[in-house]
Amino acid sequence: MSNEILESDMRNKPFGTRLRAAMDARGPLCVGIDPHQHLLDSWGLPDTAEGLASFTYGVVDALADRVAVFKPQSAFFERFGSAGIAVLEQATIRLREAGALVIIDAKRGDIGTTMAGYASAYLSEKGPLACDALTVSPYLGFGSLQPAIDEAREAGAGLFVLALTSNPEGPQFQSARTADGSTVAGAVLDGLRELNAGADDLGSFGAVVGATISSTEENLDIKGPLLAPGLGAQGGTAEGLTKVFGTAVRNVVPSSSREILGAGPDAKALQEAAERANDAYRAVLGY
């Protein structure tokens, strides 16, 4: 499917519909753009805003028209201040112009007008950092996400809500029990399932579920996308996705960063690394 078809047919569709179409066309791989210092070093670039720009645009130029989804980690751009945010803004524009979808990984979470401000910046069609989806934190209560939910619906954008993260501290909150006996993670998944009710195929409200959690008793069938970081250098494998996600594996968005970016700065090497990873995920996820 060409970029023109993706853009003309999908422009006004909800995020979940656009995501499924993009993964059908290009494969399910999500490339994480995580320009930490050691990656800049490995590319022979200085740890400066200029080095950040060279790295980021090198990834964009090599992969933007080949990969379905990109996930820039906002923190690695924010550390360079306004110059870094400008790189993130331009990269997001260029990726989307090439027909790719962009999930900005910022894990925003707050209440009321503050959350509405974040939503306006990232999810509004006219926002300065307008992207296709945003990662958010539900730990001020699932209801605190409502301004972002409303903005996402209006703009046709999506959210990925932290649910079962792979960091060792995560279970302290995520496995805690609520008043009705469910886990916090389970309550988050229930909330997402309700938001996605009525979607034809894939809803626009997804969960972040680490690819390295081994297994879970939670019901991951939320009729929405499941962003799975932790693949490649962090230990998660394509073959392990079925064990973690079970019958919901078709809705997984497998995210890998160093496995791909470590092949740079040569554009062909980046493309070959992305193709290898994408082929492995295609086989497991059924694309």
Strands 69-72, 101-108: pairing kind: parallel
Active site (annotated) includes residue 107: yes
Residue ranges of E strands in the chain: 30-33, 69-72, 101-108, 133-136, 158-164, 205-209, 226-231, 252-256
Question: Under 8 Å CB-to-CB from 231, ≥6 apart: which residues?
Answer: 211, 237, 238, 254, 255, 256, 259, 277
Catalytic pick from 107, 223, 243, 268?
Answer: 107
Q: Residue count of the chain, please give it.
A: 287
User: Which residue, 170, 130, 137, 169, is CA-closest to 151?
Assistant: 130
Cα–Cα distance, 284 to 259 (Å, whole number): 18
Using CB atoms within 10 A of its CB, is residue 222 exposed (0-12), middle (13-18) or buried (19+)?
Answer: buried
Closest residue by Cα to residue 57 from 70, 68, 41: 70
Catalytic residues: 107
